[in-house]
Amino acid sequence: DIQMTQSPSSLSASVGDRVTITCRSSQFISRFLNWYQQKPGKAPNLLISVASSLQSGVPSRFSGSGSGTDFTLSISSLQPEDFATYYCQQSYTSPPTFGQGTKLEIK
Amino acid sequence: QVQLVESGGGVVQPGRSLRLSCAASGFTFSRYDMHWVRQAPGKGLEWVAVIWFDGINNYYADSVKGRFSISRDNSNNTVSLQMNRLRAEDTAIYYCVREGRISGYPLFDYWGQGTLLTVSS
């Protein structure tokens, strides 16, 4: 199975900050990389697909980049509603696998 | 609008069985592969199983292979997960998830609200 490793596992930041979360795959996955946001008590919500394609309705302050094995999710100016846990997920091969998550907390 | 509504969770003793169901609406169910993804309390996301749009093929995580069985009824727009020989480590919220595609790239585009399974004596 392809292992997905996110860093950091947790992150404290302030409203207005720019933050970057990294996701690394154990094997080449091209651009088969998705990002999800999960708020407490809620199901995950798809933010970005194909490494960099923003889903409809997702604010433009979110962006994704990368290909191959290294990927990033950036939030350009944190808003209060962005404090959540973020997961990357590869869809290159079965089984689909997720990173362990990055919890973004308010400083 | 797309809706996925899970049901069937609860508290069950180790070794017993339980069946989860997911009712889908708002899209042409028979055109989509459907998955179950679970999340243990305070933990990350773990893929569990997939069933193809036509019900012909299904695949499982190693952790549940031989114990869980996924099925679907395209006439009633439902997908189910039969869970046998349950273990404490199966305790989790179980999400029913639709697999969408963008330019051929698979993604999990719609998730249900989840149903909680607790395996405990």
Q: Is the pLDDT of residue B91 over 90?
A: yes
The greatest distance separating any two alpha carbons of chain B, rounded to the nearest whole angstrom, comes to: 47
- Report which residue type is found at B22: C
Of B59, B103, B107, the CB nearest to A91: B107
The pLDDT score that the predictor gives to residue B55 is: 96
Report chain B residues whose CB lies below 8 A from the CB of A100: 44
Q: Is the pLDDT of residue A102 over 90?
A: yes
**Tens digits of residue pLDDT in B27-45:** 999 999 999 999 999 999 9
Contact predicate B94/B40, CB 8 Å: no
Asked whether the beta carbons of residue A43 and residue B111 sit closer than 8 angstroms, the reply is yes
The pLDDT score that the predictor gives to residue A38 is: 98
To the nearest whole Å, the CA of A69 is away from the closest chain B CA by 16
Mean pLDDT over each residue of chain B, to the nearest integer:
98
Q: What is the mean pLDDT of residues B82-87?
A: 98
The pLDDT score that the predictor gives to residue B43 is: 98
Hey, is the C-beta of A86 within 8 angstroms of any chain B C-beta? no
Confidence of residue A99 (pLDDT cuts 50, 70, 90): very high
The span from the CA of A49 to the CA of A57, in Å, is 13
To the nearest whole Å, the CA of B106 is away from the closest chain A CA by 6
Q: Is the pLDDT of residue B10 over 90?
A: yes
Q: Is the pLDDT of residue A107 over 90?
A: no
Q: Compute the Cα dihedral for A99, A105, B3, B5 and give only its sign.
A: positive
Q: What is the mean pLDDT of residues B65-88?
A: 98
The pLDDT score that the predictor gives to residue A50 is: 97
Q: Is the pLDDT of residue A72 over 90?
A: yes
Q: What is the mean pLDDT of residues B88-93?
A: 98
**Tens digits of residue pLDDT in A78-93:** 999 999 999 999 999 9
Hey, is the C-beta of A46 within 8 angstroms of any chain B C-beta? yes
To the nearest whole Å, the CA of A33 is away from the closest chain B CA by 8
